[in-house]
Chain A
Amino acid sequence: MDFTFTPEEIAWRHEVRGFLEEHSPADAPYEEMHHDWDFYRKLAGRGWLTLDWPEQFRGSPPATKVEHAIFLDEYGYSWTSFGHVLLSATTLVAHTIMKFGSPEQQELLLPGIAKGEFVCAQGFSEPDAGSDIASLRTRAERDGDHYVLNGAKVWSSSAHYAKWYLVAARTDPDSTRHRGLSVFLVDLEQPGIEIRPLHLVAGGRNNAVWLDNVRVHESMLVGTEGEGWVVMQNLLAEEHGGENVVVPEAAGRVGSGREPIRDHVRGGELGRVIDELARYLTAHGIDPEGRGRPLWHRLARLRQQVMQWQLRVFHEASLADRRYPGEPMRYMECGFVAHRELFGEVAAAARDILGPDALRERVADGFAPLRGRIAWMLRAAPVMTVAGGTQEVAKNVLARHQLGLPKSY
């Protein structure tokens, strides 16, 4: 068993940290979908928008999953909006095009995504098709060498500033469920597209997209007509899989530049909340021995929860590096599910520790602890257990694939 980082991994961590300390947008709103083009292109300039792209599209070998997890640990700790690097539909669209797109589509999208020239959005969910995505009703009808799309989509994050839109529609009107679906690339600037804002309780906006006789050339069909479900499944469940192979490893020892992970792991955005809460209590003279003991106990419990989550993330990443080396990160692992619940628990505990000041959300508010971060987290917690699929669906998928229980949905 090896609980060390190599010298190269430690150097990578410090490179990421140094970059973020210099370039992360100061005083930007905390919304997950906040997008800063200037910062985004700096990330692109480093090649960090494509950390998990295969070499053939990236031009250089991808980061290992452990390196990617280190990147996200530092990125999270900087409290920079994740919309740039993780939840962004751009990542998922890029991976879909790499796997299913034509050479022409790949040429059209991938270099521009890698350079940060534009972002993409995804149009799968509909008003009446959420977790049960196979019940979608948007139609795509053949008209010569074009398809004509009609329907309504919701939860298309970043569609209001994205260029390309990956849309799922029903090409066979007589089909039901997952048969007869197809996936298209749609230019969001073309006629027939109306993007309406959905203003979020958590701050920022999401989008509903109306498609009214939108004409798409057949060359923009992704994959095969009627086989869209395979493409969609890959995108939604890209996140899961890998053979359950155990490859024994040499015992890791401290020395020769290798250092214990516990001395370097930061716990991402949640780890920083704990560090800042500890400093806040200490600065206010609340110590762990007196009346502050229950508060510090709560914090100590969170510290343990964040530590075990981080161990899980690096464990899963190191396993994935062995099981499917060179393939993209998969998000639908247990670490993803664990983080979503932990986010809300940390927010609630921070609120209880801080009291009313936790609700202050202006960074400039002199009385706002933790730069107003907790106020935003309290509003964002319900997003966490829904975005990208509800927690229940995620757990059903894990119960089926990791515990070997029967399909229950």
Chain B
Amino acid sequence: MALQLTEEQVELRAGIRRLLERNWTRAQARALVEDPLGFSPGLYRRLLDAQLREMAVPEAGADLVDLAVVVEELGYHAVVSPLVDDLVAQRVLAELGASEPAGPVAPDALGITVCATREPGFHSSTERITARLSPADGGGLRLDGTKVFVPWAHAAERFLVWARLAPTDELRVVAVPAGAPGVEITPVVNAAADRWCDVRFDGVALDAGAVLGDADAAAAAARVHDAWLLLHCADRVGGAQAAVDMTLDHLRTREQYGKPLGAFQALQYRMLDLVMALDHARLLTYHAAWVVAQGLDADREVAMAKGAVSATYADVTDGCTHLHGAYALIHEHDLSVYFQRSLGSIVTLGHPDDWLDLLARDLHRRAVDELAAAGEG
């Protein structure tokens, strides 16, 4: 075994790094905080030109580990964009056998697709979905329901909406053009400065063909969706690494009381603990991505990664901000971008208790099996 990048992955990372060093600065990332769109369409076009979206399709020969390598690098350079959510949607489309664009796309359009899964309420899970697809009066279907925290909905051209199909109320995934009548998009002004919208679907008229796949395909797509959200973990691992690198630099160069800050043991301990936690988060992320890429049941590994990254990203960005003293408390400091994004983990990576429940049930199930086996023996 060897937990290192392959030669292809090293090249892939270097290519993305070159692209970003030529076309992106953290100052640009900071400026996005006040930008209504919240990302750079120019950079997005370059990332699409680099065939990243195509990598999400199984036939491309890339897997989730390769994409995690790419996304970690994007996270390191503070590329805030819809890319991860777009990639997840592409993979969901592929799972549903519908990877071709559903309709004509304008030549200069970015063709962004995102998934709309979460509904109002305390926790989110596919069992709680109430958005409904029912027969429309004039033929075809109508979609009614409300989705919350839909990522980058204001920039998307198409939504993949999780909904229940009347009369059986089985889960389905349906493609909905963002500009369709009856779609109402409201940005969520939020503490994390991430871009989400609440989206209301009020009698949105759809062809029967908008429904992608059957109930089994929808269930499979939901699992793929949850697993591929791991890419958000990779993004955060990259971001946390950038925060760590900036802070190590600060500790080595900033002097107080006649010596570098890094010579103070109290600061060394804090820093080392953060770095070790980040190592763990990265290992869990790549391990989970690898298990997904092997086509194995990865629920447990994905849960561990999301839980660990969510907590660690907050700890690292908070700790690094603290270790900069007052320096990093202003928007003009690059660290501010990374810090503010930590608040969004509860949306992008899920409720920590949900992951603990999943791990607990897995442990319990195994213990039940072992006790039964011992009883028989």
Contact = CB atoms under 8 A, between A and B. Distances in A.
Given A296-B364, A395-B272, A405 B283 contact: no
Nearest to B2: A249
Interface stretch (A40-48, A94-102, A192-200, A252-260): A252-260
A5 B1 CA distance: 6
A159 B184 CA distance: 78
Interface string B243-277: 00000100110000001101111001101100110
A396 interface: yes
A304 B1 contact: no
Interface string B274-288: 011001110110110
Interface string A237-261: 0000000001111111110000011
A23 interface: no
B304 A308 contact: yes
Contact of A2 (B2, B291, B304, B353): B2
Interface residues of A, number: 64
Nearest to A304: B304
B105 interface: no
A408 B263 contact: yes
Nearest to B277: A308
Q: Which of A248, A283, A314 has the most CB of B within 10 A?
A: A248
The secondary structure that dominates the B interface is: helix
B37 interface: no
A355 interface: no
Contacts of A403: 248, 262, 268, 271-272, 275
Contact of B353 (A297, A322, A408): A297
Interface residues of B, number: 54
Given A288-B364, A308-B280, A252 B1 contact: yes
A105 to B, nearest CB: 37
Given A262-B287, A262-B291, A406 B262 contact: yes
A409 B65 CA distance: 41
Contact of B248 (A252, A314, A404): A404
B350 interface: no
The secondary structure that dominates the A interface is: helix
Given A304-B359, A307-B284, A334-B279, A396 B268 contact: yes
Interface in A107-143: none
Nearest to B300: A262
Contacts of B356: 296-297, 300-301
A1 B360 contact: no
Given A247-B4, A405-B260, A408-B264, 12 more contacts: A1-B3, A3-B291, A248-B6, A262-B287, A288-B364, A300-B360, A308-B308, A309-B280, A322-B4, A334-B279, A407-B263, A409-B265
3 closest Cβ pairs, A-B complex? A300-B359, A296-B360, A405-B262
29 contacts: A6-B1, A66-B1, A249-B2, A249-B6, A250-B6, A251-B6, A253-B294, A275-B370, A278-B363, A281-B364, A288-B357, A288-B361, A288-B364, A297-B353, A297-B357, A300-B357, A300-B359, A304-B307, A308-B281, A309-B280, A312-B279, A318-B1, A322-B4, A338-B276, A395-B269, A399-B268, A403-B248, A405-B248, A405-B262
